[in-house]
Amino acid sequence: MYVYIVECADGSYYTGWTTDLRRRLATHNAGRGSRSTRIRRPAKLVYSEEHPDRASAQRRELAIKRWPRHRKRALIASFDGEGSTK
């Protein structure tokens, strides 16, 4: 399971969880993802982290969604693009 953040064309962030990052990003960009990303395409993956199970991924997603934008930006800045933080 993965928790991810995408940056939409308008600069907004969307946080979600999935079992397949590539497929989920393609779904967002095809307009079949969330309502939020559907109207703000294209979406670019800017952060992801792996979790051992769905419950932990969903807890982490909810925690990140509650964060202010500056804290999300700091998390994204620490991401090296290979699935881990710097």
| pLDDT value for 83 | 55
| pLDDT value for 20 | 96
**Mean pLDDT of the 7-27 span:** 95
Question: Rounded to 5 degrees, what are φ and ψ at 33?
Answer: -85, -140
Give Cα 24 to chain centroid, integer Å: 10
Instruction: For residue 28, give the CATH number of its domain.
Output: 3.40.1440.10
For the chain, percent of residues with pLDDT exceeding 90: 78
Tokens 């940056």 — which residue? 7
Structural domain includes residue 86: no
Structural domain includes residue 84: no
- Residue 51: which domain range? 2-77
Number of H helices, E strands in the chain: 4, 3
pLDDT band at 86 (very low <50, low <70, confident <90, very high): very low
What is the amino acid identity at position 73? R
Residue pair 47/18 in contact (Cβ under 8 Å)? The answer is: no
User: How far is the CA of 38 from the CAs of 15, 30, 58, 79, in angstroms?
Assistant: 14, 8, 21, 25
Structural domain includes residue 18: yes
Mean pLDDT of the chain: 92
Q: Is the pTM of this model over 0.85?
A: yes
How many structural domains compose the chain? 1
Greater confidence (36 vs 20) lies with: 20
The token pair at 27 is 């779904």
pLDDT digits (tens, 9 = 90+) for 34-65: 888 888 889 999 999 999 999 999 999 999 99
Structural domain includes residue 82: no
